[in-house]
Structure 1
Amino acid sequence: MVIHESHYWKAPLVRAAGWLNLLRVNDKNSEAALARAEREIFIGFYAIRKLLSAFKLSESTKQLKYEIEWFPGKPGRAVDYFNRSEIDELFDLNQKSVETRDIGFLCNQVVHSFIFIITLGEKGELEGFFLTSDTMRYRRLYFVSIGSVLHAFRTVGKDYPSKQSLKRNEETGQWEASDGEP
């Protein structure tokens, strides 16, 4: 599918960021609220991934980077469908590291997640989520803060480049975009 008019993909990102920021999960709304939060996050990162590949974002947005915490897998622990919610048994949550990753990596981790667990603060507010993709599930568990999600959704949702040049890469044969003149 090709995105012709990006507004229909970007405006929902801004609305989702507002809703996620205001969300407070409580005993009355927990199941529905968490399901919607997960859906908003997944659809949002899928939309960003589509916009990245459709030449609908400026170079500065394509280059967004986020600090993401990660925790190593415990040796000899097999992460599978039936135990994937037991992250404290599968990963060493006391051995936190931080790395900087671009927005494309973040999109792919969400879209291809094998583990996805939302975390809440004391007042029911979203703090972020733990995730790992199918290919990373034995090595690393990532934690993405809600602040990174809100920044990504708002930045992409408000990014309407006014000028862009396309040039075919002679080595790969693929089109590459840049802001301004070729």
Structure 2
Amino acid sequence: MKKLRYLLALVTLFAFQFTLVSCTEEQNFDQIEDLSLTPTLSTGIFYLESDEASINQAGPFNSFYFQEVNFDAFNEEYVSERLLEGTILYELENTTSKQLRVTIDFLSEDGQVLDTEVFNVPANTTDIITRDVYYGPGGKSLDILINTSGLRISGNNLSDSTSVSSNENPKVILRSGAEFEFELL
């Protein structure tokens, strides 16, 4: 019986030592050099809403909406140097009886137009018009985003000033958001 206990203890010790040796391997802490962090950040940019009465009040072929907004998202060199790509998303709906044109100008710090997005919107659209504009590989130049300091948004009535939609609470709505991908390491 003593021999059996001695043999069992020896086998257990041998198995434990074998397990320790076989389950460990040399660690490579240089793997951090291969690490790449590329977060995607999402944000809203602007929101435009105008009712049909305001559009009629502006008159035919006149501007019913005009605004310049500050857009210094990439004014920090650290941020602009690490931008890999971006997408600006637009959603537009028009339940008014008006054919409209909405224009978005991307402006440099000195007021020069870097890029323009134009939406020609038919009257009484039941569907939401969506547009995704890509910047970076396979899209527009990243320099447009990096050098944009402001946005100029204007809405023009391309119709008359008397018609009224049969829709309840007719208005035009433009939503804009963006997703940007950066490389941090």
**Do they fold alike, i.e. is TM over 0.5?**
no
Relative to its length, the structure with more strand (as a share) is 2
- The structure having more radius of gyration, on CA atoms, is 2
Relative to its length, the structure with more helix (as a share) is 1
TM range, smaller chain: under 0.3
Q: TM-score, normalised by structure 1?
A: 0.25
By relative contact order (CA 8 Å, sep 6+), the higher-ranking structure is: 2
